[in-house]
Amino acid sequence: MLTRFSPSSLPPSEPPHADAPDSWVDRLLLAGPGGEECLHLGAPIDRDALRALVDDQAERLAAAGLEPGGTAALRLPPSVAFVAALLACWRLGAQVALLDHRLTDHEVDSAVARLAPQVLLGSAHRPAAALRGFSEVEPVAVRLPDGLPARSGHALIQLSSGSTGPAKVIARTASDLLRELDCYRRLEEFPGEGERVVLLSSVVHVLGLVGGLLNGLHARAAVTVPERMTAAGILAAVAVGDRPTTLVGVPFHAELLAGAAAPPRLPQLRRMIVAGELVRPGLPALFTGRYGVPLGTMYGMTETGVIATDLSGTLHPAKQPVHGMRLRMVAGELQIGAPASPYPGLDDPTRWSEGWLHTRDAAELDRATGRVTVLGRLDSQVSIGGLKVDLTEVEQTLTALPEVREAVVVFEDGAIEAYLATEPDADLALVQDGLARRLAAYKRPRRIALLAQLPRTATGKLLRDPAALRTTATAAATAAR
């Protein structure tokens, strides 16, 4: 059952953006030489053009009734319009909730019922096809009669990806976003002024939004979104221009590029950075061997943004915490210092208590270096006949097999099940033989399903819901008959 986020149940607080410097959007995100390219979605957009678009959207939103301290929900695909509308809402002093444009109308209605925004900003046209990186849309602002003004000082409301269950409502203040941007500024290997980012991650989730879009604007690194999210389309986007270029995406994108046939020479490519889930063994070396640049990794959460990084690819699987991040281990769980709960209206001490955020991730923390190695979800540790099994270990063992591209391992009805993405001619007997040589019998899956592709969330994360995985496997088996 979904936990309803009820703004009316929250005590009054400072209005949104009260914790940030005055005019922070204009001073920290939109400032810079007018003719400087800052975005490229099909065509270059310079800072003068972006400022004019933000001005126009601010006028339209104000006409729709959005005021300082108001609330808006954005349901827009990746587009110049999305960027302009987001910055316009923040410039007006509103609290913004981001809804993935790929959600169904039913899911959007449910989210609106939970969040109670005063204005819903959607598109007048259908978004582009699935493999398109961006759309050209005309935003339409609709005033919602049951909407409520902000009852917390948060500037941003996001929904978690929902890969392991119902999405959580997560809130961040403007100063928290600026703190994260400062962390990126301190990372020498992260894209900076005069460089370029080719952004593959969704801009409604934390990596694409803050690490990609907002950091690009703040650090004056131009942000490019490929026209097509295929290997060829991504590589073509990198090839345009000669500025040092960093790819930012999720492990799925690195897998896609690592499998590209005969990629072109790309002297401008400096590295790729991925986050969102664990990288399978062998992928960093495979990617570097193919492109001659590091595959950097990051660990973070929607609740906090970036937590730790290995941008050079030399620490794998460990990562170094970013500036100011406080980490500790409690009963095998990694906890992150957080002065306030990121869950508005939800009092749950198993998620946040006494200044510490409970990540529900298992990890190892090196006392000498401060580096952290994330091992997987705590709930991935199950008991089989009284013996402990780490499902993450089983996944990593499977993805190390030559027959397996990706794997999701779940525990359902007292048994381990594995769902594998393989080539069409993959031999199940070879997979089982490889497991028999690498894992004790009690760790091996009772059921293994071979699929052409594994189901994913809207953000590209592997779906881990057992029912959805079984449905996918059943449909594939039926189609093969």
What is the value of pTM for the model shown? Answer: 0.84
Whether 163 has a pLDDT exceeding 70, the answer reads no
Task: Indicate if the pLDDT at residue 9 is higher than 50.
Answer: no
Instruction: Return the higher-pLDDT residue of 174 and 1.
Output: 174
Start-to-end C-alpha separation, the chain:
37
Confidence class for position 168, pLDDT limits 50, 70, 90: confident
pLDDT at 424 over 90: no
69-78, 156-165, 366-375, 454-463 — which is least confidently predicted?
Answer: 156-165
In the structure, what pLDDT confidence band is assigned to residue 102 with cuts at 50, 70 and 90? confident
Q: What pLDDT is recorded for position 127?
A: 62
Q: DSSP secondary-structure letter at 167?
A: P
pLDDT of 100 reads: 87
pLDDT confidence of residue 477:
85
Domains of the chain: residue spans and CATH: 13-172 (3.40.50.980), 385-480 (3.30.300.30)
Q: Is residue 125 within 8 Å of 138, Cβ to Cβ?
A: yes
The predicted structure's pLDDT at residue 228: 95
Distance of alpha carbon 444 from its chain centroid, rounded?
31
Task: Judge whether 398 and 451 are in contact, CB under 8 Å.
Answer: no
pLDDT tens-digit map of 188-238: 999 999 999 999 999 998 999 999 999 999 999 999 999 999 999 999 999
Q: How far apart are alpha carbons 283 and 404 in whole angstroms?
A: 12
Q: Which of 56, 70, 86, 90 is nearest to 144 (CA)?
A: 70
Secondary structure class of 199 (helix, strand, coil)? strand
Q: Are 92 and 65 in contact (CB under 8 A)?
A: no
Cα distances (angstroms) measured from residue 234 to each of 78, 126, 248, 258, 306: 15, 23, 11, 12, 24
**pLDDT tens digits, residue range 52-99?**
999 999 999 999 999 999 999 999 999 999 999 999 999 999 999 999
pLDDT at 129: 63
Average pLDDT, the chain: 90
The tens digit of pLDDT for each residue in 425-436 reads 889 999 999 999
Whole-number pLDDT of residue 51: 98
Q: What is the pLDDT of residue 13?
A: 67
315: left (phi over 0), alpha (psi -120 to 50) or beta: alpha
Mean pLDDT of 307-316: 95
| 382-391 pLDDT, tens digit each | 878 777 788 9
pLDDT in tens, 37-61: 999 999 999 999 999 999 999 999 9
Quickly state the pLDDT bin for 130 (edges 50, 70, 90). Answer: low
Q: What does the pLDDT read at residue 8? A: 45
pLDDT at 146 over 90: yes
What's the token pair of residue 440? 């004790």
Report pLDDT for 423: 80
| 363 band by pLDDT with thresholds 50, 70 and 90 | very high
